[in-house]
A and B are shown apart, each in its own frame.
Chain A
């Protein structure tokens, strides 16, 4: 089955630690995205990548980093510089500028 996988589903982090969230897609989509979702709010764009080895900051990139070494993979690192990292993180992909397809999400909690 084609789709987007995110791992882990739940992640706990101590303050001051960096953590990396995985996102893999087998849809052969060029574009990939990372969003953050907080309770009662819509999605906010963190980073996106339109092609391998290229990515751009979204609206809330501070404290996050990404890489796009392979078309199918777009990992997100939440660094210790992110002041309020507890949230639900969603990865998405799209073929060009059409609708985005989303992964199941990773819930990150800082202890």
Chain B
């Protein structure tokens, strides 16, 4: 069984530029999560999808961040425009169902904003 796939693995951009991250969850997993992990800290949830529906986006900075999960499979997280403080690792995870099921994480995208 293939794991969670993310791309790109690394991204360096200048501030005010846009950036997008892509995630392909484990086949059959209905729930998809995007997390942000700052250096030396645990991951923090940005948004959770159940199929196509964003059921929890309370921690997503909506002025510059957006996400979509078309057809309930792949997902894209976008930042526009990026700020210096957005430098972090962006992690995608998936689980078969929400809340009572085990999460599996992708390798992450390390974003550096200069």
A and B part of one assembly: no
